[in-house]
C-alpha cells in the first residue's frame, strides 16, 4: 500500500491556538488544508485531528483506538473522575458501559420524564412571584433534584451539591481559580457519593432499586468484583453531573426560541416538531468540542500512517457544521432532520458510533428527552419576556453558553 504524508501544521505547539480558536480550531484547519485529516502538535505531543463521516467511523473502531491515557489529566480530574468509563477499553469498558445502558430502559426514562415535569411545575410557580430569573441557574436546580431522585441519591444540601456539579463541567478548560474550584468540587462530590455507596453496601441506606446509586453499588466488573467505592461514586456522578449540564442546552434552546421566533410558532406536542427543534439545537450550538483517543497499534488508513500511541481528536463540533455533511450548516433549520438518515457518524454532538461497543454518550436519549420536556414547557406552558441582555456566546470558552445565561421576566404559567 502506498503511503501519503498527512497534511501537517508546522510549528512547535498549537495548544494556544486551540484555546484562541476554540470550537473552530479543527474545522478551520480542515478547511484550509482541504483535508479531513491533518497532524498538529498539542500539549507538546503529536496529534492527529480527524473529521468527516469517514473520520468519525474510523475513530469509533474499537480495534484502532483506545482511551487509556488519552484524555488530558485536567479533564480526568474534573469532568470524568478517576477510573471512569470514559477512560476504559476492551472488556472492562464493555462491562462498565453495560452497567450504564442497563438503567436506560423505557420505564426508567419515563420516570425521569415525570420527575423533570414535576420539577418544572414546582419551579415555575415560584417564578411567577419573581421579577426575573436566570434560566441557566434555575434549570440546574430542576435538573439536579430530578437527577438525584432518579438516581436514588438523597440530596443533602441542594445549593452546595448543584454548584459542585456545575463546577465539574465548567472547569475542565478553565484557568487558575476556576479550574481549582473544579478540582475541589470533584473531591467533595466523590466523597459525598462514596459515603452513600458505603451506606448502601452496609444496609444503612435503601435507595430505589432501579436507580444508579443502587445498581452501581452492586454492579460487578469484568473480574466479578464490586467497584471500589470511589469508582462507583464517579460513575453515579457520571449520571448526575451530565443531567445538570443539560442546563446549557436548555439555555441554548431558550436562545433559539428567541432568535428564531418563526420556529416557536410551529412547535406542538406529538408531531415531531419539538424533536426536530431539539436535534437542531444539539447540532447548531457548540457544546463538546472534540473527543480524544490514542492509536492502539500502528495501522494505515486511506494511505495515511497512524502510529501507536498518537493522540487523535475527533472534530465533534466541526462535523455538526461540516458543509459536506449539512446544507448551509450555519443556518438554524430544524426541518433538515425530516430526512436525516440517522447515520451514527455525521450528527455527533454527544459522540458517534455504537452505544454499547464504543464510547458514544450513554445519556443521549436522556438528553433528548429532557430537552423535549423542557422545550415543551417553555413553549406551551409558560409565557415570559426576554429583556435586553447580552445573548452573544463565545466560540472559544468551553463549554460556552449565552453570556447573560438567559434572563427571563414577567413569567406566567399558562395552565
Binding site for ligand MYR (CB under 6 A): 75, 79, 169, 172-173, 241-242, 245, 288-290, 292, 398-399
Among 40, 367, 369, 374, binds ligand HEM (CB under 6 A): 367
Instruction: Select 22 or 363, whichever has its Cβ closest to ligand HEM.
Output: 363
Among 291, 295, 313, 379, binds ligand HEM (CB under 6 A): 291
Cα angle 253-397-167, degrees, rounded to a multiple of 5: 80
Among 351, 378, 400, 401, binds ligand HEM (CB under 6 A): 351
In the range 70-89, which residues lie near ligand HEM by CB under 6 A? 85-86
Which cell goes with 193?
457519593
Among 56, 239, 313, 368, binds ligand HEM (CB under 6 A): 239
Instruction: Select 289 or 352, whichever has its Cβ closest to ligand MYR.
Output: 289
> How many angstroms separate the CA atoms of 284 and 413, rounded?
29
- As a whole number of Å, the CA-based R_g of the chain is 21
| Least Å from the CB of residue 25 to ligand HEM | 16
Instruction: Select 288 or 347, whichever has its Cβ closest to ligand MYR.
Output: 288
Please spell the DSSP secondary structure of 26-68, one letter per residue: HHHHHHHHTSSEEEEEETTEEEEEE-HHHHHHHHT-TTTEE-T
| Least Å from the CB of residue 336 to ligand MYR | 24
- From 177-185, 235-243, 305-313, 374-382, span contacting ligand HEM (CB under 6 A): 235-243
- The answer for residues whose C-beta is within 8 angstroms of residue 45's C-beta and 6 or more apart is 310, 311
Q: Which helix (H) or strand (E) holds 258?
A: helix 229-259
Q: Sheet with 45-50: list strands edge to edge.
A: 37-42, 45-50, 311-315, 290-295, 65-66
Cβ density class 47-63: b for 16+ within 10 Å, e for less: bbbbbbbebbbbbbebe
> Binding to ligand HEM by residue 374, rule CB under 6 A?
no
Q: Using an 8 Å Cβ cutoff, are 306 and 37 in contact? A: no
| Least Å from the CB of residue 27 to ligand HEM | 16
> Binding to ligand HEM by residue 359, rule CB under 6 A?
yes
String of contacts with ligand HEM for each residue 249-278, x by CB under 6 A: x-----------------------------
Partner from ligand MYR, ligand HEM, none binding residue 350, C-beta < 5-8 Å depending on class: ligand HEM
Instruction: Select 120 or 288, whichever has its Cβ closest to ligand MYR.
Output: 288
> Binding to ligand HEM by residue 296, rule CB under 6 A?
no
> How many angstroms separate the CA atoms of 49 and 24, rounded?
12
> Binding to ligand HEM by residue 213, rule CB under 6 A?
no
Instruction: Select 329 or 349, whichever has its Cβ closest to ligand HEM.
Output: 349
Helix (DSSP H) and strand (DSSP E) numbers for the chain: 15, 10
> Binding to ligand HEM by residue 319, rule CB under 6 A?
no
**Strand 37-42 versus strand 45-50 pairing type:** antiparallel
Size of site (CB under 6 A) for ligand HEM: 25
> Binding to ligand HEM by residue 144, rule CB under 6 A?
no
Instruction: Select 37 or 398, whichever has its Cβ closest to ligand MYR.
Output: 398
Q: Which residue blocks in 202-228 are alpha helix, DSSP H?
A: 212-218
- From 7-15, 17-25, 305-313, 344-352, span contacting ligand HEM (CB under 6 A): 344-352
Residue 41 forms beta bridges with which residues?
46
> How many angstroms separate the CA atoms of 235 and 190, rounded?
10
Q: Which helix (H) or strand (E) holds 238?
A: helix 229-259
| Least Å from the CB of residue 399 to ligand HEM | 8
> How many angstroms separate the CA atoms of 239 and 233, rounded?
10
Long-range contacts of 403-406 (CB under 8 A, 24+ apart): 405/134, 405/135, 405/136, 405/137, 405/251, 406/134, 406/135, 406/136, 406/251, 406/254, 406/255
> Binding to ligand HEM by residue 363, rule CB under 6 A?
yes
CB closest to ligand MYR, residue no: 242
Residue 294 forms beta bridges with which residues?
66, 311
- From 9-17, 157-165, 323-331, 361-369, span contacting ligand HEM (CB under 6 A): 361-369
Rule CB under 6 A: which residues touch ligand HEM?
A: 85-86, 97, 100, 238-239, 242-243, 245-246, 249, 287-288, 291, 316, 349-351, 359-363, 366-367
Amino acid at each position: 500500500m502506498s503511503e501519503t504524508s498527512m497534511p501537517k501544521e508546522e510549528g512547535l505547539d498549537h495548544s494556544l491556538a486551540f484555546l484562541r480558536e476554540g470550537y473552530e480550531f479543527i474545522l478551520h484547519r480542515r478547511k484550509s488544508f482541504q483535508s479531513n485529516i491533518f497532524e498538529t502538535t498539542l500539549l507538546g505531543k503529536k496529534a492527529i485531528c480527524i473529521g468527516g463521516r469517514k473520520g468519525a467511523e474510523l475513530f469509533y473502531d474499537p480495534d484502532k483506538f483506545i482511551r487509556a491515557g488519552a484524555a488530558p489529566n485536567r479533564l480526568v480530574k474534573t469532568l470524568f473522575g478517576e477510573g471512569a468509563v470514559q477512560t476504559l477499553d476492551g472488556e472492562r469498558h464493555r462491562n462498565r458501559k453495560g452497567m450504564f445502558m442497563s438503567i436506560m430502559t423505557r420505564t426508567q426514562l419515563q420516570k425521569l420524564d415525570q420527575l423533570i415535569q414535576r420539577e418544572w411545575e414546582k419551579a415555575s410557580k415560584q417564578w411567577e412571584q419573581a421579577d426575573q430569573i436566570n434560566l441557566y441557574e434555575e434549570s440546574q436546580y430542576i435538573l439536579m433534584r430530578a437527577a438525584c431522585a432518579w438516581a436514588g441519591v438523597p440530596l443533602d444540601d441542594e445549593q452546595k451539591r448543584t454548584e459542585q456539579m456545575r463546577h465539574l463541567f465548567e472547569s475542565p478548560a478553565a484557568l487558575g481559580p476556576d479550574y481549582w474550584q473544579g478540582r475541589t468540587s470533584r473531591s467533595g462530590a466523590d466523597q459525598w457519593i462514596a459515603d452513600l455507596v458505603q451506606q448502601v453496601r452496609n444496609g444503612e441506606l435503601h435507595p430505589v432499586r432501579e436507580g444508579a446509586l443502587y445498581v452501581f453499588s452492586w454492579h460487578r466488573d469484568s473480574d466479578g468484583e464490586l467497584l471500589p467505592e470511589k469508582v462507583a461514586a464517579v460513575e453515579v456522578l457520571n449520571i448526575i453531573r451530565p443531567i445538570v449540564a443539560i442546563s446549557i442546552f436548555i439555555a441554548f434552546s431558550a436562545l433559539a426560541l428567541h432568535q428564531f421566533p418563526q420556529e416557536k410558532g410551529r412547535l406542538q406536542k406529538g408531531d415531531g416538531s419539538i424533536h426536530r427543534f431539539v436535534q437542531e439545537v444539539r447540532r447548531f450550538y457548540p457544546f463538546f468540542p472534540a473527543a480524544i483517543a490514542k492509536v492502539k497499534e500502528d495501522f494505515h488508513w486511506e494511505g495515511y500512517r497512524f502510529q501507536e500511541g498518537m493522540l487523535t481528536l475527533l472534530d465533534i463540533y466541526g462535523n455538526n457544521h461540516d458543509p459536506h455533511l449539512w446544507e448551509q450548516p450555519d443556518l438554524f433549520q430544524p426541518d433538515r432532520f425530516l430526512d436525516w438518515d440517522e447515520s451514527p457518524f455525521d450528527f455527533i454532538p454527544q459522540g458517534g458510533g455504537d452505544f454499547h461497543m464504543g464510547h458514544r454518550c450513554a445519556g443521549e436519549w436522556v438528553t433528548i428527552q429532557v430537552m423535549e420536556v423542557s422545550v415543551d414547557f417553555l413553549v406551551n406552558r409558560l409565557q415570559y419576556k426576554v429583556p435586553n441582555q447580552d445573548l452573544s456566546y463565545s466560540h472559544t470558552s468551553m463549554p460556552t453558553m449565552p453570556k447573560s445565561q438567559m434572563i427571563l421576566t414577567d413569567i406566567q404559567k399558562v395552565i
